Amino acid sequence: MKKAALIGIVFLFVIVGALVYSTMTLGTHRVEVCMEFNGMTSCRTVSGSKREETLRTAIANACATISSGVTDSMACDRTEPKKVTWLK
């Protein structure tokens, strides 16, 4: 087998291994967040590798469906969640 082909195969295995590893460690935290803003409520469930980042992402996702525009989105993001349930 040629050296270039062997290097290519090893490189491919390294990339696939890194992809599998990152996928397996991605969902170490899972949270359901319900946000209430301007009389509307939205709940979203998010998985992530870091606890605080997972919570912030869930809040942002929930706020995205009940706020419009940058100002509303920022105000909703700063609102205390109505409900936070850690699932994992």
Interval 16-59: pLDDT, tens: 877 777 666 666 899 999 999 999 999 999 998 889 999 999 99
Among 68, 64, 52, 62, CA closest to 82: 62
CA distance 14 to 18: 6
pLDDT of the residue at 60? 96
Q: Which of 7-11, 23-27, 53-57, 71-75 has the lowest mean pLDDT?
A: 23-27
For residue 81, give the DSSP letter. P
- Every domain of the chain and the residues it spans: 27-86
CA distance 43 to 34: 4
pTM above 0.85, yes or no: no
